[in-house]
Amino acid sequence: MPVAIARPGPWTHRDLTAGGTRFHAALAGPEDSDFLVLLLHPFPECWWAWRHVIPRLAEAGHRVAALDLRGFGGSDRPPSGYDLHTLADDAARVVAALGHERAAVVGAGLGGQVAWVMAGMRSDLVAGIVPVAAPHPVAVRSLLGRAFFSGTALQHLSLRVPGLAERTLTTHRGMERVLRSWVGQGRVGRVLASSDYYADLLARPGAARGPIETLKRSRLRRAEMTALAAPIAVPVLSILGESDPVQPAQAHARDTHHVSGLMRTAVLHGVGHFPAEEAPDELVEAILPFLAEVAPAA
C-alpha cells in the first residue's frame, strides 16, 4: 500500500524542481514574509519530524518550509549527491525556487550539519542558522572514535556496516529500536508514535539507499572542507539535548572555534536527539527570540 507523503495539517504541500532535482516541502505562514525559515530534518526522518513546530512558527508570523532532503520522504532519490555540500546546495536552490533571497536555516541532526555548510557556502543567502543536535561537521569528525562516545553513539556508527542499516531501518521493530535508543528518558512515546511511518517510507523500493549513504560519510570531501574552512560569520544558535546519546555535550565543545560572529547555545533538559518531537514547545521558545533578530516575522 502506498505511503502518504502529503499528510494533512495546517500547511500546504508543494513539489518543486531545483537544480534538476524534484523536492517536496510542507509550507505554512504568511507568503509576504521577506525571510524564509527553512526546516531541515534529521536522519532517518523527513519533513514530518517538524509537524509540531511548523504551526507554532507560522502563528508567530514566519514563512516556513519543511524540506525533504534528497533521498528522503517525497523528494527525488538520485543515484548520487548525498554529501553535505550537495545537500546544502540543494537547500539553497530550494530557497531561491520558493522566491526568497534570505533564509534562516533550522536543521536537526543531519539537517543541522547541512545548515553549517550552507552558512559557509552562502552567507549572502543565510541570515542565521539553528543547528539542533548537530555539532559543527569539522569539530565532530575530529572527535570520532574517542572515548566520549556512548554505547548508543557507537550504535549510530554501527549503522554504517553494509546491509545492517537496510535491515534495521526498513522494519517497524528495527526503526523503533533505533529511535527508542536515541530519545531522552520519559519522552520515548512522542517519537515512537511516528516510527512505523518513517520505517514504511524507507521500506519503499530503493528508498533506503540515499539516506543510508548520508550516514556512511564519515570524512568530509574537499568541497565541504572548503565551505567550512573559514569560521562561520552568520549568527548561530546551537541547541542541544541534555540527554542526547548520539551527540552528547562533549561533541559540541569545539563549535566556538568555528564561529567568528554571534554564537549562542541553548540546552534542553531531559531531551535526546529529536527535540522537535520530544520537546517541540521548549524548542520553539528557544528559537523564536533568535529568529526575531535574524529573520523578523512578517
Domains in the chain: ranges and CATH: 12-146+222-294 (3.40.50.1820)
pLDDT digits (tens, 9 = 90+) for 62-114: 999 999 999 999 999 999 999 999 999 999 999 999 999 999 999 999 999 99
Cα–Cα–Cα angle for 160, 162, 164, rounded to 5 degrees:
75
Q: What is the pLDDT of residue 151?
A: 44
d(CA 270, CA 256): 23
pLDDT digits (tens, 9 = 90+) for 180-217: 999 988 899 999 999 999 999 999 999 999 999 998 87
Q: What is the pLDDT of residue 248?
A: 84
User: Of 124, 85, 83, 117, which is closest to residue 103 (Cα–Cα)?
Assistant: 124
pTM to 2 decimals? 0.95
pLDDT at 26 over 50: yes
The residue assigned the cell 535508543 is 181
pLDDT at 58 over 60: yes
Distant-in-sequence, close-in-space partners of 236: CB < 8 Å, separation ≥ 6:
119, 128, 129, 130, 131, 255, 259, 261, 262, 263, 264
* Average pLDDT of the chain to the nearest whole number: 92
User: Of 127, 177, 133, 170, which is closest to residue 155 (Cα–Cα)?
Assistant: 177
- Mean pLDDT of the region 259-275: 96
d(CA 80, CA 74): 17
- Mean pLDDT of the region 267-287: 97
pLDDT digits (tens, 9 = 90+) for 142-172: 655 443 444 445 555 666 676 778 888 999 9
